[in-house]
Amino acid sequence: MSDLVTLAIPSKGRLKEQVDAFFAKDGIVLKQIAGARGYRAAVEGHPGIDVMLLSSSEIAASLANGDVHLGVTGEDLIREAAPELETRVALLKTLGFGFADVVVAVPASWIDVSTMADLDDICAAYAARHKKRLRIATKYTQLTRSHFASAGISDYRIVPSAGATEGAPTAGTAEAIVDITTTGATLTANGLKILDDGVILKSQANLAQSLLADWTPAQKAAAAAFLAPLGVELSE
């Protein structure tokens, strides 16, 4: 078994730049190896840390499954990958970037629908009228089920979305959606509105620890040394 600590960070894009800057401000320098297209990086002065470059969703799944020790990704993705969060992943530090809200949005033309209770009424009426359940398009299956259950809504079905979720109602593939938004502009442009109590999660990038990963004493020591400049301690 390797005594290296695996740290997963985003492989590209604005989020990777922000992660690099976040570590750099505390003197932690990440250097990509195996060429510009490589998927590994090293941390100067911390030979015990092995950095993996993955997509944000892969990082969340790897944390939830114990395949990496530490990772940086959105809280929305972590909570979607690990509904029973407290036993699988510890959120160590919010990073102040990567902000996005997971929201329930319905057509703006539904003028009498502004709350989850109103949506419950619509779902029941839709089921009675059409003999089938109202469709909710989303990539966030677990978060949607949890939020709808807490609102007492059961007369709906999830339509998995792999593309532009906000376009589903216009395309006729769903009646409402659960998706992420930063400003709400894209939702408005697609004729949608957020329910008054439809914010499921206010998410941002997090430094997280997998509780299911195998942690040797040497790995804990290496991780503690790496995290110390950030003012972060491992979860027990």
Name the residue with higher pLDDT: 38 or 172: 172
Name the residue with higher pLDDT: 98 or 163: 98
DSSP class of 4: P
Question: Which long-range CB contacts under 8 A does 160-165 form with residues at least 24 apart?
Answer: 161/137, 165/137, 165/138, 165/139
Residue 209 scores a pLDDT above 80:
yes
What distance in Å separates the CA atoms of residue 18 and residue 61, rounded to the nearest whole number?
21
Which residues fall within 8 angstroms of residue 65, CB to CB, at 6 or more apart? 210, 212
Confirm if 204 and 59 have CB atoms less than 8 A apart: no
Q: What average pLDDT score do residues 106-121 get? A: 97
Residue 198 scores a pLDDT above 70:
yes
Q: What average pLDDT score do residues 73-82 get? A: 96
Q: What pLDDT does residue 34 have? A: 62
φ/ψ of 48, rounded to 5, equals -85, 0
Residue 225 scores a pLDDT above 90:
yes
Q: What pLDDT does residue 35 have? A: 57
What distance in Å separates the CA atoms of residue 215 and residue 115, rounded to the nearest whole number?
45
Q: What pLDDT does residue 38 have? A: 60
Model confidence pLDDT, tens digit, residues 14-54: 999 999 999 999 999 988 776 555 688 889 999 999 999 99
Q: What confidence category does residue 138 fall into, taking pLDDT thresholds of 50, 70 and 90?
A: very high
In percent, how much of the chain has pLDDT > 70?
97
Q: What average pLDDT score do residues 204-213 get? A: 97
- pTM reported for the whole predicted model: 0.93
Residue 178 scores a pLDDT above 80:
yes
Q: What pLDDT does residue 1 have? A: 52
Domains belonging to the chain, first-starting first, are: 5-98+204-230 (3.40.190.10), 100-203 (3.40.190.10)
Q: Pick the range with the lowest mean pLDDT from 36-40, 56-60, 96-100, 220-224.
A: 36-40
Residue 156 scores a pLDDT above 80:
yes
In percent, how much of the chain has pLDDT > 90?
89
